Amino acid sequence: MSTKAQKIKSETPRKFEVQHRNRCRLCGRPRGYYRKFGICRICFRNLASRGLIPGVKKASW
């Protein structure tokens, strides 16, 4: 590509923004993310079993 074409291409605005991906705050895992808590399912389970998440307890019926 010529330098003139590169200059024109660099001046045009981008069509798409980078897609935002929610990640776990503790381990950085991108999948199994709970928005309400901001952590993944694995970290959620570990913290809940230790009693570190208020209002969450193991289900029993």
Return the higher-pLDDT residue of 46 and 2.
Answer: 46
Amino acid at 28: G
CATH code 2.30.38.10 for 21-54: no
Q: Is the pTM of this model over 0.75?
A: no
- Contact call for residues 55 and 42 (beta carbons, < 8 A): no
Q: Note the pLDDT tens digit of each residue in 28-46.
A: 999 999 999 999 999 999 9
Residue 34's SS3 state is: strand
**Structure tokens belonging to residue 15:** 């069509």
What distance in Å separates the CA atoms of residue 42 and residue 37, rounded to the nearest whole number? 12
The residue whose two tokens read 């399912």 is 41
